[in-house]
A and B are shown apart, each in its own frame.
Chain A
């Protein structure tokens, strides 16, 4: 396998959701749409129109590439804003807050890139939830940064080795678009199965 130079920021989010899903998407190229992914894609189609604009004192840049040499990260930000010289990322999500904590990781990874690109500290970021039209402040604490960097290293190892993380059946599997491909209950079910004589 060719060593990936940069880790896609989105992979962190997927890894945190489920390492096996991350492996399916980034190591074997599996992808299937479901209701959630289609809603997300159409939301991002709207957000991802490259351009910049001003909203009062805020400079907004949409669909901008982010990169960090130090962390070997690459990805696209939905929206970057600058207010009074202070940069911060805004990540768009289709649902509402609080399902899982993977979205915070994604904002933090974007902030790490942004800090390197601007040379300025980025203490906060935002999550925008399309369903509630709410912006949620993400405090980029040391703890979140450490979790993000640890996840990044786990993803890097995964992409380098291609070793399949075990598929485990959890409540998250219900919303996963790769459920039919993964069959997370199959191993247990095959183990219990006794063929009729």
Chain B
């Protein structure tokens, strides 16, 4: 089970019997049974045969297109499920309804608690407890606690957005102290385009995460465009961005930090565009990153609510199902995924 990433620019995606094949210049790059494929992500340019396209649609396997640098372009997806009950519950929880406030609290609490736990782990693992870095981490943790504490008594989504902003600022304010490899530094979160390697990796990772969370929401029957925390702008999958929040630190930040600190990626894996300063990964670096992301998604942990082992890939769907159960009135809370 897994997502297939196609990074070869002139690749051809075809189908033989029950297998998906990726070929390039008369060489077979990949040959896997369809039943093992959860999703296909094309980075850059690739062609796909009509037979493979139909097979993906029939098997409800989403196909996403990203630019070579990981910017999301669009996706081809089977129709929404017939599960009108989930979508109807999703719509009925309108902006600032008690349910909307409840789930937004969950998304933000999940994200900020996971941020805090990341910083606390770094603090515990630090070799010198009296260093300036540890002091900065302690300061970040304190500021995160201040943002987390009022969440459950804050009743408007705008005010909750403010807490989310304050918490994120605290976390990224000490993110540089989580980096332990020479040649990498972080000052602030930069997007569109990212102008340093760390930001480039974070942006790329969030783009992949979005593909996966959106797929999970689609499977469960949600309309990914109707969200609660992210509602201001149309034309973006707000609910996918909402549910992503609690997973950002757990999946992407964790794997980006591991890739850097374990030196799976080094500064030589990046190149900088002239003028704009946009930083992107080399072909080799990108392959390494995709492999690490896939490994992270398939890694197992004990789900605190379901009390059993699952992978992050499965957790995307579990969280979507728990959200559906809350919105449909089956449960009286949405529990975000918070991991120590």
* Residues in chain A within 8 A of chain B (CB atoms): 27-30, 162, 164, 180-181, 183, 185-187, 189-191, 193, 195-196
> Is there an interface contact between B305 and A30, defined as CB atoms closer than 8 Å?
no
Identify which of B61-69, B80-88, B248-256, B268-276 touches chain A.
Answer: B80-88
> Is there an interface contact between B85 and A183, defined as CB atoms closer than 8 Å?
no
Chosen A-B contacts, 20 in total, with CB atoms closer than 8 Å, are A27-B82, A28-B221, A29-B82, A29-B83, A30-B83, A162-B85, A181-B220, A183-B306, A186-B305, A186-B325, A187-B325, A187-B330, A189-B305, A189-B306, A189-B307, A193-B305, A193-B333, A195-B109, A196-B304, A196-B338
Chain A residue nearest in CB terms to B86: A28
> Is there an interface contact between B85 and A164, defined as CB atoms closer than 8 Å?
yes
Chain B residues with a Cβ closer than 8 Å to the other chain, count: 29
> Is there an interface contact between B304 and A186, defined as CB atoms closer than 8 Å?
no
Interface presence of B332 (CB below 8 A) = yes
The A contact surface, by secondary structure, is: loop
Q: Determine how close the nearest CB of chain B comes to the CB of A182; give it in whole angstroms.
A: 9
> Is there an interface contact between B321 and A183, defined as CB atoms closer than 8 Å?
yes
> Is there an interface contact between B333 and A190, defined as CB atoms closer than 8 Å?
yes
Quick one: which of B308-340 are within 8 Å of A by CB?
A: 317-318, 321-322, 325-326, 328, 330-333, 335-336, 338, 340
> Is there an interface contact between B81 and A30, defined as CB atoms closer than 8 Å?
yes
Given A27-B85, A190-B325, 11 other A-B residues pairs in contact with their CB atoms under 8 A: A28-B221, A164-B328, A185-B306, A186-B325, A186-B331, A189-B307, A190-B333, A193-B305, A195-B304, A195-B336, A195-B338
Give complex CA distance A30, B328 in Å. 17
Q: Determine how close the nearest CB of chain B comes to the CB of A29; give it in whole angstroms.
A: 3
A162, A164, A191: which contacts B332 (Cβ < 8 A)?
A191
Chain B residue nearest in CB terms to A183: B321
Give complex CA distance A30, B307 in Å. 25
Given contacts A191-B331, A193-B335, contact A183 B318 (CB under 8 A): yes
Most chain A beta-carbon contacts within 10 A, residue among B109, B221, B326 = B221
Tell me which residues across on chain A come within 8 A of B336, comparing CB atoms: 195
Most chain B beta-carbon contacts within 10 A, residue among A30, A190, A196 = A190
Q: Determine how close the nearest CB of chain B comes to the CB of A155; give it in whole angstroms.
A: 17
Chain B residue nearest in CB terms to A166: B330
Q: Determine how close the nearest CB of chain B comes to the CB of A12; give it in whole angstroms.
A: 20
Tell me which residues across on chain B come within 8 A of A186, comparing CB atoms: 305-306, 321-322, 325, 330-331
Give complex CA distance A144, B318 in Å. 40
Chain B residue nearest in CB terms to A28: B83
Quick one: which of B77-99 are within 8 Å of A by CB?
A: 81-86
Tell me which residues across on chain B come within 8 A of A162, comparing CB atoms: 85
Give complex CA distance A164, B322 in Å. 16
Chain A residue nearest in CB terms to B305: A193
Chain A residue nearest in CB terms to B325: A186
Q: Determine how close the nearest CB of chain B comes to the CB of A77; give it in whole angstroms.
A: 27
Give complex CA distance A181, B305 in Å. 16
User: Hey, what's the 0/1 contact readout for B273-314 against A, CB within 8 Å counting as 1?
Assistant: 000000000000000000000000000000011110000000
Chain B residue nearest in CB terms to A181: B321
Tell me which residues across on chain B come within 8 A of A183, comparing CB atoms: 306, 318, 321-322, 325
Q: Determine how close the nearest CB of chain A comes to the CB of B338; give it in whole angstroms.
A: 6
Tell me which residues across on chain A come within 8 A of B322, comparing CB atoms: 183, 186, 190
Q: Which 8 pairs, one residue from A and one from B, show the smallest C-beta to C-beta distance?
A: A29-B82, A28-B83, A190-B331, A193-B305, A193-B335, A187-B330, A28-B82, A187-B331
Tell me which residues across on chain A come within 8 A of B304, comparing CB atoms: 193, 195-196
Give complex CA distance A62, B331 in Å. 47
Chain A residue nearest in CB terms to B110: A195
Give complex CA distance A34, B340 in Å. 34
Give complex CA distance A28, B328 in Å. 14
Q: Determine how close the nearest CB of chain A comes to the CB of B103; give it in whole angstroms.
A: 13
> Is there an interface contact between B83 and A190, defined as CB atoms closer than 8 Å?
no
Q: Determine how close the nearest CB of chain A comes to the CB of B166; give it in whole angstroms.
A: 19
Chain A residue nearest in CB terms to B321: A183
Give complex CA distance A164, B321 in Å. 15
